[in-house]
A and B are shown apart, each in its own frame.
Chain A
Amino acid sequence: MNTYNVNEKGYYGDFGGAYIPEMLYPNVEELRQSYLEITAQADFKAEFDQLLKDYVGRPTPLYFASRLSEKYNTKIYLKREDLCHTGAHKINNTIGQILLAKRLGKNRIIAETGAGQHGVATATVCALMGIECIVYMGELDIKRQAPNVARMKMLGAEVRSAQSGSKTLKDSTNEAIRDWINNPVDTHYIIGSVVGPHPYPDMVARFQAIISEECKTQLQEFEGRDYPDHVIACVGGGSNAAGIYYHYLDDPRVNIIAVEAAGKGIDSGESAATSALGKEGVIHGSKTLLMQTPDGQITEPYSISAGLDYPGVGPMHAHLYRSQRAEFVSIPDQEAMDWGLSLSQMEGIIPAIETAHAFALLDERKFEPNDVLLFNCSGRGDKDLETYIDYFKL
């Protein structure tokens, strides 16, 4: 069968693998050998399901957006990941990884964060389990996502500023990897998206797959069928997208659409639209598409949303793009910001700026009245209020 999922060697088509320094080999190999076995154990599943239900608040609702549907003359559903505890889908993954880390006997957790959502989700599960937590965050992101920095500190995490390069997500990831090299025995690295060396992309996708698993049941109730015609998500590294695509990857009835951040425009030199601007290469231990100079130096991406400000995409998405299984679209800052306002005023939902990019697709494409559109509403906009205030002079 043609599958768009990972193969046993850790590749999605040509992409993926584990291009890591030897110093990381024992850690990554330990994970590779154990993640499937541990996550299949009955006690792991029971604890994971229980926490998702009682602590995260799952299942998250599927909401039929009637005013939006009417305006665009099509059927629009929102998967409400913004209602998860801590405000985004990121916590599905951190719950899974903290349970795994405990079973591997690790007592120190490190993470990288861009928007701070993954940092908060990691700090939260570390507080929940009483485990030490260190979050690397780019100096620039620390400034533009101040509320999340404060939340991480309240939760007892140490936030370390990444000073190198563009001082954003790419650089905080470098710092987290260097920390792991220096602390190989007691530390687990909770990566926040479907990026990094195998098995991370697959492991994170599996933890996020709960999103599309729930959608199947919920769509069945609304529509009498368990699949949409189009499934749409924003892509930074690609974890919320991987989660909502997961159970539809090999279903040809479902059109997959990925929305990237065009920043100030694809040709402006200030963009994060990896599919349009990237070439095959190796970043953070994975062979994937990434933005780089002809000489192979990784370039600094730009987006108004910190969570999409990454020069690569996960290997699953690189493969979806290369194989043309998914359609890739990119949305500039301004349209995304306008959609932050539109969704607020038409549906009473203030989205994260990352999430707002996905909805901007509605102005780019025409859909049929009977089409069922499934949007991942990946996060809420509380963390972005300062950016919204500045932008709209609120």
Chain B
Amino acid sequence: MNRIQSVLEQDKKLLSIYFTAGFPNLNDTVSILKQLEASGVDMIELGLPFSDPLADGPTIQESSTQALRNGMTTDKLFDQLKDVRKHVNVPLIVMGYFNPMMQYGVERFCQRCQGVGIDGLIIPDLPVDVYHEKYKALFQQYGLLNMFLITPQTPDERIRFIDEVSEGFIYMVSSAATTGAQSSFGDAQADYFKRIGAMNLNAKLLVGFGISNAETYEAATAHSKGAIIGSAFIKHLEANGADSVSDFVTQIR
């Protein structure tokens, strides 16, 4: 069984943390991974930086720009992760935009992911339809799960289709927005979490975008399997440096 699927089976709420590979410094990637696991995080998303991250707000945009300026590349990421499975056991997901994967060669990219022990991918600008038609077989061949996003505007029928195609979790975007930390959630979000929760989907739901503290983590996980934190963690790294990971995680839960 894929590590993502195993974790989703566990009888607890999950905390997944996103950070941009190669940020704040080029070679912080593995150290941050180890600290996250030691702090009890259940899953980790590693951002492959991109020059034009359309779905991201200013915090993640700036971390990507910084990582690229530090010299981050696709090959460097795989080099950094070469021995990662000797130290880190939680599921690892690479989150990145499609263009760098296309240039690397989608098959070669998948092969290298499998080689270093990546469990899945999140590719915001690869639509579920194109994945289903063109890339699903390839991802399966290399043991990679692909996670899809839904938003408050996604029609029910399309959510059902995404549910059918999903083998891992569904990434539930908390509001109509690019990534970025919010300090609290309102009634609209609670209604939306409840509405999707009541659809009885096969795939488990993880909520992301806008989660920043214990309060938003609680609200997000009340009707879902878990939550994903990105921008708030990046801001923490920016302010406190790459050795301060556990301080952040213990504030959340």
Contacts and interface: CB of A to CB of B under 8 A. Distances in A.
A181 interface: yes
Interface stretch (A101-109, A244-252, A262-270, A279-287): A279-287
Contacts of B154: 22, 25-26
B237 interface: no
A181 B52 contact: no
A22 B54 contact: no
B189 interface: no
Nearest to A18: B127
B192 to A, nearest CB: 13
B176 to A, nearest CB: 5
Contact of A26 (B55, B104, B153, B173): B153
Contacts of B211: none
A178 interface: yes
B105 to A, nearest CB: 10
Interface string A266-307: 000000000000011111110000001011111100000000
Interface stretch (B8-16, B79-87, B93-101, B218-226): B93-101
Contacts of A17: 130
Interface string B165-200: 000000001001110000000000000000000000
B176 A184 contact: yes
Interface in B21-54: 50-52, 54
Contacts of A296: 50, 74, 99-104
Contact of A183 (B97, B130, B176): B176
B158 interface: yes
B176 A19 contact: no
B130 A297 contact: no
Given A177-B54, A182-B177, A296-B99, A23 B130 contact: no
B126 interface: yes
B149 to A, nearest CB: 4
In this complex, the interface size class of chain A, counting residues with CB under 8 Å from chain B, is: 20 to 34
B130 A21 contact: no
A285 B158 contact: no
Given A279-B103, A297-B100, A19 B51 contact: no
Contacts of A299: 51
Contacts, number: 105
A69 interface: no
Contact of A165 (B52, B104, B153): B52
A220 interface: no
A26 B103 contact: no
B61 interface: yes
A238 to B, nearest CB: 19
Contacts of A183: 176
A22 B151 contact: yes
A165 B68 CA distance: 12
A22 B50 CA distance: 18
A136 B73 CA distance: 30
Given A17-B130, A20-B125, A182 B176 contact: yes
Interface string A69-80: 000000000000
Contacts of B61: 164
Contacts of A19: 98, 125-127, 130
B150 interface: yes
A30 B199 CA distance: 24
A282 B127 CA distance: 12
A146 interface: no
A21 B153 CA distance: 13
Contacts of B126: 19
A20 B102 CA distance: 15
- Which of A177, A294, A295 neighbours the largest number of chain B CB atoms within 10 Å of its CB? A295
Contacts of B150: 22
Given A21-B149, A297-B50, 8 more contacts: A20-B125, A21-B124, A22-B173, A23-B176, A25-B158, A184-B176, A185-B176, A298-B52
Interface of B: 50-52, 54-55, 57, 61, 65, 68, 73-75, 97-104, 124-128, 130, 148-151, 153-155, 158, 173, 176-178
17 contacts: A19-B98, A20-B127, A21-B55, A21-B125, A22-B150, A22-B151, A23-B151, A25-B154, A185-B153, A281-B99, A281-B103, A282-B125, A285-B54, A294-B103, A295-B75, A295-B100, A297-B100
4 shortest interchain CB distances as A-B pairs: A296-B103, A296-B100, A22-B149, A297-B51
